[in-house]
Structure 1
Amino acid sequence: MKIEVEVISKEIIKPSSPTPDHLRYLQLSFLDQLAPPVYNPFVLFYEFNGETQPKITEISSHLKKSLADVLTLFYPLAGRVFKQNHFVDCNDEGVPYVEAQVKCSLSDFLNNPIPDELKKFIPLELDDIANELALGVQLNIFECGGFAIGQCISHKIADGLSHFMFSKTWAATALGDEPRIELPEFVSAALFPPKEFNIGYDAGIGITKNRVTKRFVFDSSKIESLKTKYKGKDSSGFNSRVLSLENEKGPSRVEALSAFIWSRFVATTKDDAGHDEKHYIVLHSVNLRPRFDPPLPQHCFGNFYRGAMTAPFLLSSGEECNYGAVIMKVRDEINKINNDYIKRLQQGNEHLSVLQESSDNVIRGEVDTFSFSSFCRFPVYDNDFGWGRPVWVSSPPLTFKNLVVFMDTKEADGIEAYISLEEEVMAKFECDTEFLACVSLSGC
């Protein structure tokens, strides 16, 4: 549902202890430099089921104190990201903390949440590339007394997992749960030294306002049906091999759902260009931490991800998609992101050239790129600030088209898919009968 959110107060929260002088400047890594100049957002919703309900002033005071404390650990978040794309000034200037009144009850909103409305629950514009703020927090108060905590962190200094680990540590700090307080490690620039770019790579390519995001929920039974269906699909012709998922590890939830959504996107768009054939690139974001040898801890803070690029897929008009081939080809590309890949990535130049070439192809309209990012199995519901776990965790839409973000449902192994497409493409995509047959719930 559409909602009205009114800001009632603003202030700046600074770390409870000053950052030492020797930590004043945090150098951005090569991967930080490549990250798009946007904010990673998410919103946690909380309701009260007991008879005793704390006052909003108590909730806010508790959040502000614990935020000040956790900022001493995550000190770059209280600094400013310099536009020169080289470092963060960890100057303790603080983060904006906003309180806002939501003109409806929490239950009314959760009955029919609209993804684009979620942007009202965060304090910063997601594509404000000129903003040097690293973090913003907004406490949203519903008429029923329930509340939502909106957070957004600059993608220039943190990937999705870093954001979730910050929020989890903030919650543990608020709860006084010391064993769950994980200290971040700021080692990204040492592992991926920054570069002076001598070619005009644009990290903001793909940012657009010409897109609409809708939320589709797939329950566990639908996902299991897709996994079973694709497991037996023949993959003849892939790299001149005959592969079958029956002889390999069966498709994961994300693999099966990615192949299905991408195939329906292809079915929707492949005849639009007026050409007999169309090229497609599929990108899957991959967490690099477990792919080091030895693996890095999950609490390493920064951008530790890369996109596994599966390309090109060339489909003729009227040609059907081979699901098994898609899954196997994507899996092969993801498996190539190993320790050897990381060593080459640390050199930087080869990777930058590949990015530039693929970006040029997209700009010229020679290929269609479709991207997937999964937060499934991330600790998104492990955020108890003292009033229980959130009833829902959501992802406000990023300003990219042809993007799918996966998040777990709270229970029962379902998946929420936030799908962003151009408006005219979405109009056809959401009417696809094969797609709708697998959707359990959709949001406008």
Structure 2
Amino acid sequence: MVNVEVISKEIVKPSSPTPNHLYHYQLSFLDQITPPIYTSLVLFYEFNDEIQPEPAAAVISKHLKKSLSEVLTLFYPLAGRVKIDNHLVQCNDEGIPYLEAQVTNCRLCDFQQNPMPGELLKLIPFELRDHDNSEFALGVQLNIFECGGYAIGLCISHKLADGLSMTMFAKTWAAITRGENETKIERPEFVSAAVFPPADDVSGYRTFGVIPKNKVTKSAPTIEHLREKYTGLAEDDREKRPSRVQALSAFLWRRFAEASKDDHSIDENILHAAVHTVNLRPRTDPPIPRCSFGNFYQIFLTTPFVSSSSSSSGIDDQESCHAMVKQVREELSKIDKDHVKRLQKGGHGSYINRFIQRLAKPGMVVTLSFSSLCSFPLYDTDFGWGRPTWVAVPPPPFKNLIVLADTKEVGGIEAYVSLADDDAMTKFESDAFIQRRVGMNQDGSAGSNVTGHRAKL
């Protein structure tokens, strides 16, 4: 168990006041229907004395607090107070919590070599489930390791920001810290409510609930072979090669579906569904700038067929799920500019209703959701002491959710897997195809319960 002791806590406020006409920040419709949780990142940094001596912890903290105050003037809603019932933020510059903590029984290099995903929760300032009980939109925790190096834990309100917005905030904060020229600093654009106007009543739109945190597995497989395998299974030789995310999510979904079969009677009518998220910024007309701050994502559902053996078409074998890759592409193609226009004109209700109807089929529906941070500039967050050695995602408080993120090495993906209970995780981890493809090694100390895995091929 990692021992993390908070040694100080203060409120950091914007360096300049927010103009009066920006006092009320209106949430968009997509902000409104996003669950009231925190999303988070932990960025790890270590020093090489041969290249750059390690600065004192007090120096690091001083620079971070000063630049944090400056970046809050750009991201002014984050320094305000979230009023979820009213669907707005009061941009009153009251500031955000900034914590300093000491990690006393674990070296940074040990944490990275044998990561314990559940322990990441100790390196962030908030419980991820607690946004309903907090008005803070952002929190920061600086964790200092005694042997050298540090980790910055960020928590940001999902009501205000999606994964790309969170990454953009971190990157801009880092640029200010290292003294980047103002002309090169990417500034946020607050256009979400204009693009997706808010609704008066969204009580019927929340379809996913938050549950207590569960065990998590973390892996970093090489997936090029999976991409080739899924391409080779295509009936049409001209079919496009699947992306890294499509190939890995199909593989993990198939293993989840196989592992969960034993939980149900053979007589039950079980439908295994996959839920993906898609970034809407490039799918609007005209495209929304990448720096647009807010929630610009949508979920879509696929329900590929999985048999206990090879399908009659001969396309899928026991390891593959080519049907899912194909369906993901088909569903993704439907989220085009015309679809987004219908959403902007108030077509949210019909889309959500169709989504719910698909989940309300006879029998039992078991869903596995995917959220991808891949291709986001996670490793561009240089505060002046070099790029992070690892960017980790603390376990989100949802059941049956997999978060995918790039590794520092080009081409790799880490998968953070949260399942409904210990039994489900045990079956998933012990799956022969998972062990063969991912080659997971147990994390944690000898004799302890397994709280996570990290794997490389």
Specify the SS of the correspondent of 1:218. Answer: coil
What does residue 455 of structure 2 align with? none
Q: CA deviation at 1:198?
A: 6.5
* 1:362-414 C-alpha deviation (Å, 9 max, x unpaired): 9x972111111111111000011110001100000101111111111101311
Alpha-carbon distance between aligned partners in 2 of 1:180 and 1:213, rounded to the nearest angstrom: 38
Matched letter for residue 196 of structure 1:
D
Q: Which amino acid aligns with 2:231?
A: K
Deviates more, 1:278-287 or 1:380-389: 278-287
After superposition, the C-alpha distances for 1:108-131 in whole angstroms (9 at most, x for unaligned) are 211211111101000011011221
- Counterpart amino acid of residue 232 in structure 1: G
**CA deviation after TM superposition for structure 1 residue 252, in Å:** 1.1
Partners in 2 of 1:22 and 1:335 — Cα distance? 40
| Pair 1:201 & 2:199 matched | no
Letter of the structure 1 residue corresponding to residue 247 of structure 2: A
Among 106, 114, 117, which residue is 2:116 paired with?
A: 114
TM-score, normalised with respect to structure 1: 0.92
Residue 447 of structure 2 corresponds to which residue in structure 1? none
Q: Which residue of 2 aligns with 1:28?
A: 27
Question: Is 1:260 matched up with 2:251?
Answer: yes
DSSP 3-state at the match of 1:427: helix
Q: Distance in 1 between matches of 2:365 and 2:6?
A: 43
Q: Partner residue of 2:435?
A: 436
On the 8 A contact 1:374/1:407 being kept in 2, the answer is yes
Distance 1:198 1:162 in 2: 23
Work out the percentage of aligned pairs sharing the same amino acid.
Answer: 55
Look up the equivalent residue of 1:252 and give its one-letter code: S
Worse overlay, 415-424 or 434-443: 434-443
Distance in 2 (CA, whole Å) between partners of 1:231 and 1:181 is 40
Q: Which amino acid aligns with 2:224?
A: E
Is 1:341–2:343 an aligned residue pair?
no
* Contact 2:80/2:95 (8 A) holds in 1: yes
Provide closer, same or farther for how the CA distance between residues 355 and 249 of structure 1 changes in structure 2, counting only shifts above 3 A. Answer: closer
Runs of 4+ in structure 1 over 6 Å off: none
Task: Provide the residue aligned with 1:231 in structure 2.
Answer: 231
Aligned residue pair count? 427
**In structure 2, what is the equivalent of residue 240 of structure 1?**
none
Query: Quick one: distance in 1 between partners of 2:122 and 2:86?
Result: 28
Cα 1:305–1:198 change in 2 (3 A) is closer
1:37-82: CA deviations, max 9, x gaps?
1111000000010252211000000000000000000000000110
Are the equivalent residues in 2 in contact too, given 1:26–1:87 (CA < 8 A)? yes
* Alignment-derived partner of residue 66 in structure 2: 65
- Correspondence list, 1:262-277, <5 A: 262-276=253-267, 277=269
Q: Post-superposition shift, 1:188? A: 0.5
Q: Comparing 337-346 with 177-186, which one deviates more in the overlay?
A: 177-186
Q: Are 2:331 and 1:330 aligned? A: no
Per-residue CA deviation, residues 215-245 of structure 1 (Å, 9 max, x unaligned), is 01103xxx111111111114xxxxxxxx43x
Work out the CA distance in 2 between the residues paired with 1:200 and 1:140.
Answer: 40
Q: Secondary structure of the residue that 1:297 maps to in structure 2?
A: coil
The answer to whether the 8 A contact 1:278-1:316 is kept is no
Give the CA deviation at 1:324: 1.9
Q: Which runs of 5+ in 2 are unaligned?
A: 444-451, 453-457
Q: SS of 2:98's equivalent? A: strand
Q: CA RMSD in A?
A: 1.8
> Would the alpha carbon gap of residues 430 and 441 (structure 1) be closer, same or farther in structure 2, given more than 3 Å must change?
closer
Cα 1:430/1:58, change in 2 over 3 Å: same
Q: What's the counterpart of residue 417 of structure 1? A: 415
CA 1:97–1:167: 2 relative to 1, 3 Å: same
Question: Cα deviations across residues 158-181 of structure 1 (Å, max 9, x unaligned)?
Answer: 000000001000001111112431
User: 2:393 corresponds to which letter in structure 1?
Assistant: S
